[in-house]
Amino acid sequence: MLRLDDIKEVFLIGIGGIGMSALARYFQHLGCGVYGYDKTKTTLTSQLEKEGISVFYQDDIERIPAPFQLYSEQHLVVYTPAVPKDLNLIACLKGVGYVLHKRSEVLGIISAHRYTIAVAGTHGKTTTSSMIAHILTYSGVGCSAFLGGITANYGTNVLFSDNDLVVVEADEFDRSFLTLHPDIAIVTSTDADHLDIYGDASHVKESFRLFIKQVASNGLRIIKKGLDLPADIHYSASEQADAYASNICIENGDYYFDYIGNTEKIERIQLGVPGIHNVENAVAAITAVKHLVEDVGLLKAALTSFRGVKRRFEYIVKSESHVYIDDYAHHPEELKACLAAVKSLYPNERLVFVFQPHLYSRTRDFLDDFAKVLSQVDVLLLMDIYPARELPIRGVSSVVLLNKVQCAEKYLVSPEQAVEYVARHRPSLVVTAGAGDIDLLVEPIKEALNA
Query: What angle, 0 to 180 degrees and rounded to 10, lies between the N-to-C axes of helices 415-425 and 442-450?
Result: 20
Provide the 3-class DSSP secondary structure of residue 185. strand
CATH architecture of 314-450: Alpha-Beta Complex (3.90)
pLDDT single digits (tens) 376-435: 999 999 999 998 878 899 999 999 999 999 998 999 999 999 999 999 999 999 999 998
Model pLDDT, residue 390: 82
Q: pLDDT tens digits for 151-163?
A: 999 999 999 998 9
> 131: part of which helix (H) or strand (E)?
helix 125-138
Region of 391 (left: φ > 0; alpha: ψ -120 to 50; beta: rest) is beta
Long-range contacts of 37-45 (CB under 8 A, 24+ apart): 37/11, 37/12, 37/13, 37/63, 37/89, 38/14, 39/83, 40/16, 42/16, 43/439, 44/16, 44/18, 44/150, 45/15, 45/16, 45/21
Is the pLDDT confidence value at 191 over 80? no
Which tens digits make up the pLDDT trace of 319-373? 989 999 999 888 898 899 899 989 988 999 999 999 999 999 999 999 999 999 9
The pLDDT of residue 451: 82
Task: Kindly indicate the confidence band of residue 1, based on its pLDDT and cuts at 50, 70 and 90.
Answer: low
Provide the residue ranges of all domains of the chain, joining segments of one domain with +.
Answer: 6-99, 106-305, 314-450
**Letter for the amino acid at 328?**
Y
CA distance 447 to 122: 33
CATH superfamily assigned to domain 106-305? Mur-like, catalytic domain (3.40.1190.10)
pLDDT of 271 reads 94
**pLDDT tens-digit map of 97-150:** 999 999 888 988 998 889 999 999 888 889 999 999 999 999 999 999 999 888
Parallel, antiparallel, or unpaired for β 220-224 and 233-236? parallel
Q: Which residues pair with 10 in a beta bridge?
A: 34, 76
Helical segments of 186-331, H only: 195-198, 201-213, 276-289, 296-305
Euclidean distance between CA atoms 13 and 35, whole angstroms: 9
Backbone phi and psi for residue 208, each to the nearest 5 degrees, phi listed first: -65, -35
Look at residue 353 in the predicted model and tell me its pLDDT.
97
Residue 200, pLDDT score: 66
Whether the pLDDT of residue 198 is over 70: the answer is: no
Q: Which residue type is seen at 451?
A: A
CATH 3.40.50.720 fits 6-99, yes or no: yes
Check whether 193 has a pLDDT greater than 70. Answer: no
Q: What is the pLDDT of residues 15-59, one digit of tens each?
A: 988 889 999 999 999 999 999 999 888 888 999 999 999 999 999
The pLDDT mean for the chain works out to 91
What is the pTM (predicted TM-score) of this model?
0.81
- The band of 199, judged by pLDDT with boundaries at 50, 70 and 90, is low
Structure-model confidence comparison of residues 192 and 106, the more confident one? 106
Please report how the helices 296-305 and 276-289 are oriented relative to each other, as an axis angle in degrees rounded to 10. Answer: 150
Among candidate residues 421, 427, 438, the one with its CA nearest the CA of residue 355? 438
Q: Would you say residue 303 has pLDDT above 80?
A: yes
pLDDT number for residue 52: 95
More confident residue, 5 or 363: 363
Mean pLDDT of all residues in 196-211: 76
